[in-house]
Amino acid sequence: MNRDYYNTPKSNFFMRVLWYAAGGDRYILERATYADQVKYMTLGGVIFATSFMAAMSGGYAFYTIFSPRSFGVEDTTVFTDVVYYSIVFGLFWGIMIFNLDRFIVSSTGKGDGTEEITWKEFKGAIPRIIMGTIIAITISKPVEIRMFKTEIDVKLYENQLIAQKKYQDLTNKIYDERIKKVEIEIDKIIIEKDKIQERINSLISEKNKVNPPIITQSGYRKIESGDYVPYSYSNPNPLINSLEIEITRSKEELKKIEDLNLGRMTSLKLQRDSLLVRKGAIDKESEKQAQKLDGLLERIKLADEVAGVWISLFITLLFMAIELTPIFFKLMLVKSPYDYLKDNIDELIKAENGIYTLYDYHKDRKGVERDYTVHYNVEKIISEKKEAAKAQDILAKYAVEKFIEQKKREIDKNPESFIHPNS
């Protein structure tokens, strides 16, 4: 707006966008001073910066939550489909935070128009401060875990290995006991067979001591006469014959036991092999379970552990300062031409619609000064309705009086028509 004493700078698209972000009125700002334009442009810039950080933070948090789990420092694969969804969610989150910040800043008002923040102003801004604090914390945590990603990945990998070892130890404890029970049953059968086999070997050794056989290459043995007979040739020595009978009986007993336990031995071996296979499968599953520790909550916990309380608190306070700065600045702003122009337009709009306000007109029961607002258009309509109702009442009474007079005249002319003795 051109004047003889001052020319307001022309706005460009970038300035108008920032004004919109700060909730500034473009019509008024284009007629205000350059200081007002810069003031609202700066506030809008802070809101845009916060929204951008919120979009980045939300996108990274979404990617961390929905990307496939992996060991912290082993997998560097970028999952393209999750990236696309993360970008969409990040934009949505940034826009939502932008609208919330814009609402918080634009609804804060300008306080009492002085640089001092009074308790009354601060008390009125407490709900907005709480909202801004929550937003700052939600933005700061994903950014924090991204800042310390390298340290978190190392610590996360250690925790995953510890968890995997814990799962494997638990699996070994459960399945080793089951496998041990099966192997005990197998060992019982083997020990029983070994005992019989040892007895057979002992009998054969004792027999050989009594009459050591001389075995030729053709499978014959030499007797006292110098002739060669088959090894199975019946020996005239009764002790040897008795030993051979015992050996034969023991071999038959061994075969009987082997036949009886053949199916059970096969079943026990299959059961043992099955347990070993299941144990191996659960060992592999324990790795997948350990990978599930790579979540947002786990990384937030590790971020607090890696960064420490003070660094984590400093980052959170930094984002809180960025988020809450526009609120406190608006409370500290001194009234400027923009504010007076806005008040003037507000009063003109109210006057145009028949609204008049008397500021600090009376005190309530608690001694707080209250405004008194008069709605002239409303009072006009109410007054018209009242007068119309009064007129309707007068006309109704007049109509009743005329009706009575008419009926009286009719009775005077012909009273018999109004009398019905038989009715």
| Residue 206, amino acid | E
Q: Which long-range contacts (CB under 8 A, 24 or more apart) does 238-245 make?
A: 239/210, 240/207, 240/210, 240/211, 243/203, 243/204, 243/206, 243/207, 243/210, 244/207
Residue 204 CA to its chain's centroid (Å): 77
* pLDDT at residue 217, rounded to an integer: 43
Segment among 75-79, 85-89, 198-202, 411-415 with least mean pLDDT: 75-79
Angle in degrees, CA 44, 48, 51, rounded to 5: 140
* pLDDT at residue 14, rounded to an integer: 92
Q: What is the pTM of this model?
A: 0.59
The answer on pLDDT for 31 being more than 90 is no
Read off the pLDDT of residues 268-287 as tens digits, 9 standing for 90 and up.
778 777 777 777 777 767 77
Give the residue with greater pLDDT, 207 vs 128: 128
CB 322 within 8 A of CB 331: no
CA distances from 420 to 415, 416, 417, 423 (A): 10, 8, 8, 6
Give the separation between CA 269 and CA 271, rounded to whole angstroms: 5
Task: Indicate the angle between helix axes 119-147 and 80-108, nearest 10 degrees.
Answer: 170
Q: What is the mean pLDDT of residues 381-398?
A: 89
Q: What is the mean pLDDT of residues 198-205?
A: 76
* pLDDT at residue 16, rounded to an integer: 92
The answer on pLDDT for 210 being more than 70 is no
The answer on pLDDT for 416 being more than 50 is yes
Read off the pLDDT of residues 215-243 as tens digits, 9 standing for 90 and up.
444 455 555 555 555 554 445 556 666 76
Average pLDDT of every residue of the chain: 78
Give the residue with greater pLDDT, 1 vs 372: 372
The answer on pLDDT for 397 being more than 80 is yes
* Maximum average pLDDT range among 130-139, 168-177, 370-379: 130-139
